């Protein structure tokens, strides 16, 4: 039998799973809008639901990385990239494909963060 003192403490819920959930939820809403409307309806300023989902998911990842005992500089800096892509210069990333690529990349970062840094 193993000694209870040697066992690892129980981990909390894997909050890093929120990152892909938020990013792909925004993409799903935008896809449904694009399917039934001629163009995606902006929610805040020029942010469409897919863009907003990517920005919010990147901030969630950065907050989780800041609260972690081991700091991940890539996850902490990803909101700056999302703000640059989707808020400061949104005309370059309005394509659904760019939003999907960004959602996949922050999902990979979230998995990396969840497996290595928590």
The pLDDT assigned to 23 comes to 96
pLDDT digit string (tens) for 5-44?
554 544 557 888 999 999 999 999 988 887 887 766 777 7
**Who's near 7: CB < 8 A, 6+ residues apart?**
none
Q: Classify residue 24: in a domain, yes or no.
A: no
SS (H, E, C) 17-47: HHHHHHHHHHHHHHHHHHHHCCCCCCCECCE
Cβ–Cβ under 8 Å, residues 64 and 15: yes
Assigned domain for 26 exists = no
Residue with tokens 């400061």: 88
Q: Does residue 16 lie in a domain region?
A: no
Length of the chain: 118
The total number of structural domains in the chain stands at 1
Question: Which range of residues forms the domain containing residue 62?
Answer: 47-118
Is 37 among the domain residues?
Answer: no
pTM of the model: 0.82
């Amino acid at each position: 039998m193993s000694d209870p003192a040697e066992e690892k403490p129980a981990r909390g819920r894997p909050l890093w799973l929120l990152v892909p959930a938020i990013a792909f939820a925004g993409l799903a809403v935008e896809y449904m809008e694009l399917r039934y409307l001629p163009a995606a309806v902006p929610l805040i300023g020029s942010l469409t639901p897919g863009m907003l989902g990517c920005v919010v998911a990147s901030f969630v990842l950065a907050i989780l990385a800041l609260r972690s005992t081991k700091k991940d500089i890539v996850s902490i800096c990803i909101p700056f990239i999302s703000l640059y892509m989707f808020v400061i210069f949104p005309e370059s990333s309005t394509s659904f494909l760019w939003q999907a690529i960004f959602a996949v990349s922050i999902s990979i970062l979230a998995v990396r963060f969840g497996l290595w840094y928590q």
